[in-house]
Amino acid sequence: MPRSFHIALRIGLSLCVVLALMLHVSGFYPLALVNRLEQFTYDVRLRLTLPGGVDSRIVIADIDEQSLLREGQWPWPRQRLAELVDILFNDYQIGLLAFDVVFPEPERHSAFTVLDTLAQGPLRENAAFQQEWATLRPAMSGDARLATSLRDRPVVLGYSFALAGQQGQDLRIGQLPPAALSSTALTDTASPFAVATGYSANLPILQASARSGGFFNSPLVDQDGLFRRLPLLLRHDDQWYENLSLAMLRTLLGGPALEIIVGTGYRDTPQGQRVEAMRVGAFNLPVDAQGAVRIPYRGPQGSFPYISASAILNRQVDPELLNGAIVLVGATAAGLLDLRATPVQNSYPGVEVHANLLAGMLDQRLKDQPAFISGLEILLLALLGALSMALGFLPPLRALLGVFTLAAVTLAANLYAWQALNLVIPLAPTLLLLALVYLLQSLYGYFVQTRREQRLTQCFGRYVPRELVKEMSHRPDSYALGGECRQMTVLFSDIQDFTTISERLEPHQLTQLMQFILTPLTQVIHAQRGTVDKYIGDAIMAFWGAPLPDPDHARHGVLAALAMKARLAELAPELHAHDWPTLKIRIGINTGMMNVGNMGSEFRMAYTVLGDAVNLASRLEGVAKQYGVTIVISETTCAAISGIAVRELDRVRVKGRNQPVTLFEPLGLIDALTDAQREEIQDYEQALAAWRAGDWEQADARFAALQTRQPQERLYTLYRERVAVLRTQPPVADWDGVFTLTDK
């Protein structure tokens, strides 16, 4: 498939991810998984930015285990609670008292029961008893005593609502406090507040004596069971009642009216309106679509001072801790079951939840998510989607770094809005977008890459090293399968006297020998980035510079030839172990312009090289036999290599070619030569110079000296034979020293 198709498909798949997340953010198609992830990122941000420390403005009068041991099981006598109220206001001069407990039933006392029985029975006709009992009974009532303590003091009582489907949904116990808003306040506005059907409130005598009241339970528990929000209002009988924390705030401020701030342009409400916030005096309280505020947790349990209620009753508290403080009476004793699961702690006292909310309202650090956040998030998704799609076309490491950079910038901006502006901008959709688009692009690229590598392996895997195949897959524009002309190096190798050897072997032995020899020689070629063109019997044809360009193709070819010679020598013991003859190899190498590509017929194609430079390399392999050397390279190859010692063999005209060529034999890396080898090369060059100058006497003497040191060298014998011929048959006057070869 064309590259443009793959690009279009990758972009299309990424756009599907972007569109799905945009639909989620806009509310048209909510995704439960994204919501769950957003809750997780919300909790992480909340925990990372907890203010910490202890807020001494709000003190929790704790009904703890110690209090229950000293005062008895809950509920305590109302007389004792009245003493608690009096001590707090009279002795400690607190500023406000709130109860995170409810008193729905009259206090029952056994003495009252006996006296009532006497008054209604045997002493019913006793006027003196009846008159005395009528006077004493109200004074002895714990409810009346507590009501007296509450009267004319800033006290807020707590109670609970029950919604439809909840336990107690039809109960109506006690008396509700005055409503915070009347039925006319939200007539033209879509109310976001839940509707309560039942309640468990305080005794009328107690509620009438208190300054205010507020519900302390919450129907808004998230699916994971955590308390992240509290509703500010609940509706009951077309009246709206306030949360305990809101009632405390209004009481602190002297009871200002509660104002509703309404926004327009909402698609999810019939009138297109929604309550966005409430105002209490100078305090703005932003609410979400369900009329709830996000609880601004200060930290884990203990972010506010805890004082045992029994210590207060026994006046064992430092007055400085309570003077002017807001006191919340609540329970942390495990048996009273007032513990909640929150983002900051799994078991968190419910009374401290209200303390956190009140402190957050006083400090104006309630988190808000205005209506424009949805549009902002959609724009952000579009921008990040475009950037992440562009990054997908970069190399993997750069793409990963780019995605990390985008994620880091997004996180930094989000945390700044969270901390400095108190704005809650959804984080999960943007991070999920970056992760999904990157993953999608990477996986798509991986599969396309794998398919390309498989195709390349099918085409080149048997001829080209795996490293080159991988490199080709990463650089598809650096090679071409069609024919093209390149400067390249080609190598031909052949086993000396192989025809004679093969005649002495059985077919299966010959097959084993071929595999035994060709495999390690091919490995050597691959190690030097060479491409095996073909095997011709015992011969190998290989080239360098294609399919991928190789600026050092000549050097790699010569190093491969030297390594092939050394490898074959290393195999001699194993050849003897298999009772196979010792093998010798001849190699010819040439560098020049060649045609390379898929060539052949409609029945069979092969990736190969053609040209005069290729033919010359084939001739050089045959020429090596005449000079008694293993490797022969051309003058063009010699000029293109460095760091390798060579000696000139001859200047010749090969059969079928009029243009003379200078032949060289590579001897190895220059740094690896011994002093004896360097001296021999120097003597040889002097002998060759004498030969070229026509000084037959000196040339013969020098070649003879070399032959004495190296009697096995066919090259020295060859030149002495030529000197002998030229002595008897002198060359023409313009002799150029070029020797014409008659054999291939």
Instruction: Point out the least confidently predicted range of 92-101, 575-584, 586-595.
Output: 575-584
**Residue 242 · residue 90 · CB < 8 Å:** no
**Residue 141 in domain:** yes
- Of the candidates 219, 215, 221, 220, the one whose C-alpha atom is nearest the C-alpha of residue 245 is 215
254 and 335 assigned to the same domain: yes
Q: Are residue 353 and residue 409 in the same domain, yes or no?
A: no
pLDDT at 265: 61
Phi, psi (degrees; rounded to nearest 5) at 133: -65, -40
Over the range 47-66, which residues count as b (16 or more CB within 10 Å of their CB) and which as e?
eeeeeeeebeebbbbbbbee
Per-residue pLDDT, averaged over 350-364, amounts to 95
Non-local (6+) Cβ contacts of 146 within 8 A are: 78, 79, 81, 82, 85, 103, 206, 209
At residue 1, the 3 state secondary structure works out as coil
- Model pTM? 0.62
Q: What is the pLDDT of residue 449?
A: 55
Q: Tell me, what's the pLDDT at 174?
A: 93
Q: Which carries the bigger pLDDT value, residue 471 or residue 106? A: 106
Out of 29-33, 86-90, 148-152, least confident range: 29-33
Asked whether 241 and 176 are in contact (CB, 8 A), the reply is yes
Q: Check whether residue 203 and residue 309 sit in a common domain.
A: yes
Alpha helices per DSSP H over 326-427 = 350-363, 372-391, 396-420
pLDDT tens per residue, range 502-561: 888 888 888 888 899 999 999 999 899 898 888 888 899 999 998 888 999 999 999 999
Domain boundary among 612, 640, 672: 672
pLDDT at residue 184 in the model? 64
Question: Are 356 and 383 in the same domain?
Answer: no
Query: Which H/E stretch holds residue 430?
Result: helix 428-460
Residue 183 has pLDDT above 80, yes or no: no
pLDDT band at 227; cut points 50, 70, 90? very high
- pLDDT at res. 132: 60
Question: Mind giving me the DSSP string for 247-270?
Answer: HHHHHHTT-PPEEEEEEE--TTST
- Per-residue pLDDT for 594 more than 90? yes
Q: Is residue 462 pLDDT above 60, yes or no?
A: no
Residue 276: per-residue pLDDT: 85
Co-location of 612 and 744 in the same domain: no
- Chain centroid offset of residue 592 CA: 50
**pLDDT score recorded for residue 480:** 47
In contact, 588 and 649? CB cutoff 8 Å: no
What's the pLDDT at 334? Answer: 74
Q: How confident is the model at residue 667 (pLDDT cuts 50, 70, 90)?
A: very high
Instruction: Report CA-CA distances (Å) from 227 to 96, 276, 349, 634.
Output: 25, 21, 11, 85
**590 is a domain residue:** yes
For residue 421, being part of any structural domain is answered with yes
* Residues 128-133, mean pLDDT to the nearest whole number: 62
Whether 721 has a pLDDT exceeding 80, the answer reads yes
In one-letter notation, the amino acid at residue 374 is S
Q: Average of pLDDT values for 384-401?
A: 79
d(CA 737, CA 739): 6
Whether residue 264 is predicted with pLDDT greater than 50 in this model: the reply is: yes
Instruction: Tell whether 294 and 225 lie within a shared domain.
Output: yes
Interatomic CA distance for residues 741 and 744, integer angstroms: 8
Amino acid at 151: R
Residue of 203, 245, 213 lying closest to 351 (CA atoms):
245
Q: Is 357 exposed, middle or buried (0-12, 13-18, 19+ CB in 10 A)?
A: buried
Q: Which helix (H) or strand (E) holds 37?
A: helix 32-48
- Sorting pLDDT into bands at 50, 70 and 90, what band is 605? low
pLDDT at 373: 85
Write down the pLDDT at residue 503: 82
Residue 138 domain-assigned (yes or no): yes
423 in the same domain as 340: no
181 and 268 inside one domain:
yes
| CA gap 111, 435 in Å, rounded | 72
Q: How do residues 464-509 score in pLDDT, each as one tens digit?
A: 555 555 555 555 554 445 568 989 999 999 998 888 888 888 888 8
- Classify residue 112 as left (phi > 0), alpha (psi -120 to 50) or beta: alpha
* Res 7 pLDDT > 70: no
Question: Is residue 462 assigned to a domain?
Answer: no
State residue 92's pLDDT score. 95
39 within some domain: no
What are the angstrom distances between the C-alpha of 83 and each of 108, 148, 406, 614?
18, 11, 61, 112
Q: 97-101, 194-198, 470-474, 517-521 — which is least confidently predicted? A: 470-474
Residues 145 and 13 placed together within one structural domain of the fold: no
β-strand 58-63 against 306-308: which pairing, if any? parallel
Domain span holding position 648: 480-672
Domain end residue (candidates: 305, 336, 363): 363
In sequence order, what are the residues at sequence separation of 6 or more whose Cβ sits closer than 8 angstroms to the Cβ of residue 664? 632, 633, 634, 635, 637, 638, 646, 647, 648, 649
Strands 292-294 and 229-231: antiparallel
The answer to whether residue 45 is domain-embedded is no
What pLDDT score was predicted for residue 478? 45
354 and 375 housed in the same domain: no
> Quick one: tokens of 14?
């990424």
- pLDDT mean across residues, the chain: 85
- If asked whether residues 234 and 350 sit together in one domain, one would say yes
- Domain contains 519: yes
Residue range 265-310, pLDDT digits in tens: 666 565 667 788 899 989 999 998 888 999 999 999 999 999 999 9
- Mark which of 633, 654, 672 sits at the end of a domain: 672
Token code pair at residue 150: 């509450």
Q: Are residues 281 and 231 in the same domain?
A: yes
- Split into its structural domains, the chain has a count of 4
- Which residue reads 């999920």 in tokens? 432
CATH number at residue 519: 3.30.70.1230
pLDDT in tens, 27-74: 788 888 888 999 999 999 999 999 999 999 999 999 999 999 998 888
Contacts of 14 (CB under 8 A, 6+ apart): 385, 388, 389, 392, 437, 440, 441
